[in-house]
Amino acid sequence: MPAYSAPLTDVQFLIDDVFDFQKHYQSISSGEQASKETVFAILEHCAKFCESELSPLNQTGDLEGCSFKDREVKTPKGWKEAYQQYVNDGWQGLSAPEEFGGQGLPLSLGVIKSEMIGTANWSWGMYPGLSQGAMNTILLHGSDQQKKDYLPAMVEGRWAGTMCLTEPQCGTDLGQVKTRAVDDGCGGYDITGTKIFISSGEHDFTENIIHIVLARTPDAPNGTKGISLFLVPKFHLGDQGQVAERNAVYCDSIEEKMGIHGSSTCVMNFDGAKGYLIGDINQGLHCMFTFMNTARIGTSIQGIGSSELAYQGSLPYAKDRMSMRALSGTKQPNKVADSLIVHPDVRRMLLTQKAFAEGGRAMLYHAAMIADKMMDAHDKGDMETYEEFDDELGFLTPILKAFLTETGYESANLGMQIFGGHGFIKEWGMEQIVRDARISTLYEGTTGVQALDLLGRKVLLGKLKTFDGFTKQIKHFVKTHRNTKEMKPMIKQLKRHLRQWKFSTIRIALMAKKDRDAIGGASVDYLMFSGYVAMAFFWAKMADSAYTQHKNEQGVTPFYLSKIQTAEFYFERLLPKAQSHKTLMLKGAKGLMNMDESQF
């Protein structure tokens, strides 16, 4: 397994040169204490924890996996101890409000933290990650009492949380949820039903687990309009808020999966378990969206992590493994052969991973800044501004989730490909990255679901408002950089793709008026096209910053030069892949729908 090395130089480049986090932090209230020194100290500390504690547990966790016995889940050796250190160091509350014991730092800092943790050991990171989503839901939709009762222990990390949506008969289609919640007349509900695919549903990290559960009251309307959200603790709380008697929610079994073996995926049985309503009755799906958005952006981190870790794994192999001679003439005459990295196709694979990892990171940090501003507006009660940023993030979320996990899986496979046959052997660890990455395009809404969310809901239903909002930023960049000599080739490409994006969106909208299936026929290609163009924008921004820094310094700085070269590679070799998606998304749905079901 490749040992993880935190890309701190790249992080610094993004937060200092590309996005100017200091300036950004001065504009939001949670950023007050986030001085340059504080931020860097936190990142260095986090990097050390990830490199020395979490990374070594990644492969061992895969091999050992979770075990299940008597309704209890045992996590792999050493995982619980690493979590204890995480709690002791106060990592869980980094971005949580100070009134509940958190450090009150900006959300974006938590996102950078999550990326390091998720790259070092994704499966381990799912436990605190899911809990973070549960915390956010309680924070935004819970009552004051619920916040007071549950948040402090969760912020501390002493308790964890989950997200219980899926049932055997439905995942995406939550309108089919059957779990019942019956008012007990004493302020609570009796929850009965079976939930599946519950990540971290049961584990040995914490003394309590707070489940956030979608269920339906007896008189609720059918479909999604009749779903409510409940808080169901594993252990009830005593008078002092301490853990008391056991609630009737149990793990029935854990799934045998292709990957993420260290993460427990639980079947959870609610057998008249006591639950408490979160938010208003029948508003569960609305409240759950907060959780889902957190989770979706969180999953996009898995994509970036797959690209980064696969790159870190295959790069040393490409330098060390000797195979064949360069077609352009021997490069290492004293060696038995040249190293893999002299071969153009191997470089193509390495640069693809690098470009997806670094491009994805830039997209993520941009989204994290929007989340900062959104939370800031929320804290200040400025709901109009909140909605504005929520819309912007809502547009980017499906792109980040689907595009970054698809490209992350591609990178993981390329990493394995560079190893040749050795990539298929467990001990090298490259195949684990592929197996772990594979889930990322499936959970928290498949790529197809994200694509419909983007094209159907966010773009078309919103009458292109969010689309125009995001592309306006690109247009502005194009305008302000059109006379920058070095940037001209990229600006030209960006302009061209922007036109295509707008034009194609309108064409699909027109097609959809005649045939609603044209949306589903276009959606995944539309999303992939959008992803390639959005990432191109961020690569252009990075190239621009690198040119600027480059000019400021004496002579050539290798880091900035390689940034520029990677940006050029992205525009030359990856962005052109958008063209096939453009062609395909304009085909309409007829060719997909005309075959009779019986003839498949």
406 catalytic? Reply is: no
Spatial separation of the C-alpha atoms in residues 275 and 278, rounded to whole Å: 9
- In this complex, which beta carbon is closest to a copy of itself, that of residue 242 or of residue 562? 562
Q: State in angstroms the smallest separation of the CB of 444 from a copy of itself.
A: 9
Q: State in angstroms the smallest separation of the CB of 443 from a copy of itself.
A: 6
Backbone phi and psi for residue 101, each to the nearest 5 degrees, phi listed first: 95, 5
Spatial separation of the C-alpha atoms in residues 131 and 163, rounded to whole Å: 8
- In this complex, which beta carbon is closest to a copy of itself, that of residue 274 or of residue 550? 550
Q: Report CA 303 to chain centroid distance, whole Å.
A: 7
| C-alpha distances in Å from residue 472, one per residue of 189, 240, 464, 534, 583 | 48, 53, 12, 12, 24
Amino acid at residue number 64: E
Is 437 within 8 Å of 412 (Cβ atoms)?
Answer: yes
Three-class HEC string of 571-596? HHHHHHHHHHHHHHHCCCCHHHHCCC
Q: Where are the alpha helices (DSSP H) in 65-197?
A: 79-88, 107-120, 122-141, 144-156
| C-alpha distances in Å from residue 53, one per residue of 39, 77, 120, 132, 160 | 21, 12, 9, 20, 20
Is 515 within 8 Å of 539 (Cβ atoms)?
Answer: no
Is 295 within 8 Å of 159 (Cβ atoms)?
Answer: no
In the set 384, 444, 568, 572, the catalytic residue is: 444
Q: State in angstroms the smallest separation of the CB of 27 from a copy of itself.
A: 34
- In this complex, which beta carbon is closest to a copy of itself, that of residue 470 or of residue 570? 570
Amino acid at residue number 346: V
- In this complex, which beta carbon is closest to a copy of itself, that of residue 38 or of residue 417? 417
Q: State in angstroms the smallest separation of the CB of 339 from a copy of itself.
A: 8
- In this complex, which beta carbon is closest to a copy of itself, that of residue 392 or of residue 436? 436
Output DSSP code: residue 327.
T
* Interhelix angle 383-398/465-481, nearest 10 degrees: 80
- In this complex, which beta carbon is closest to a copy of itself, that of residue 260 or of residue 375? 260
- In this complex, which beta carbon is closest to a copy of itself, that of residue 488 or of residue 573? 573
* Number of Cβ atoms within 10 Å of the Cβ of 294: 24
Q: State in angstroms the smallest separation of the CB of 2 from a copy of itself.
A: 14
Distance between terminal CA atoms of the chain?
A: 42
- In this complex, which beta carbon is closest to a copy of itself, that of residue 19 or of residue 409? 409
Q: State in angstroms the smallest separation of the CB of 462 from a copy of itself.
A: 16
Is 188 within 8 Å of 270 (Cβ atoms)?
Answer: no
Tokens 């094209």 correspond to 455
CA torsion, ordered 565, 566, 569, 573, to nearest 10 deg: 180
Helix (H) or strand (E) holding 555: none
**Of 146, 129, 292, the residue nearest 232 (C-alpha):** 146
**Of 587, 580, 471, 582, the residue nearest 519 (C-alpha):** 587
Residues 532, 534, 537, 542, CA torsion sign: negative
Q: State in angstroms the smallest separation of the CB of 175 from a copy of itself.
A: 8
Q: State in angstroms the smallest separation of the CB of 560 from a copy of itself.
A: 10
Q: State in angstroms the smallest separation of the CB of 422 from a copy of itself.
A: 8
By DSSP bridging, strand 235-237 and strand 243-246 are antiparallel
Backbone phi and psi for residue 34, each to the nearest 5 degrees, phi listed first: -90, 70
Spatial separation of the C-alpha atoms in residues 148 and 141, rounded to whole Å: 13
Rg (CA), the chain: 24
Q: State in angstroms the smallest separation of the CB of 50 from a copy of itself.
A: 22
- In this complex, which beta carbon is closest to a copy of itself, that of residue 468 or of residue 568? 568
| C-alpha distances in Å from residue 142, one per residue of 108, 139, 149, 365 | 23, 6, 10, 28
- In this complex, which beta carbon is closest to a copy of itself, that of residue 121 or of residue 166? 166
- In this complex, which beta carbon is closest to a copy of itself, that of residue 120 or of residue 342? 342
Q: State in angstroms the smallest separation of the CB of 442 from a copy of itself.
A: 5
Give me the residues paired with residue 265 across strands: 199
Spatial separation of the C-alpha atoms in residues 15 and 36, rounded to whole Å: 10
Q: Which residues are known catalytic residues?
A: 444
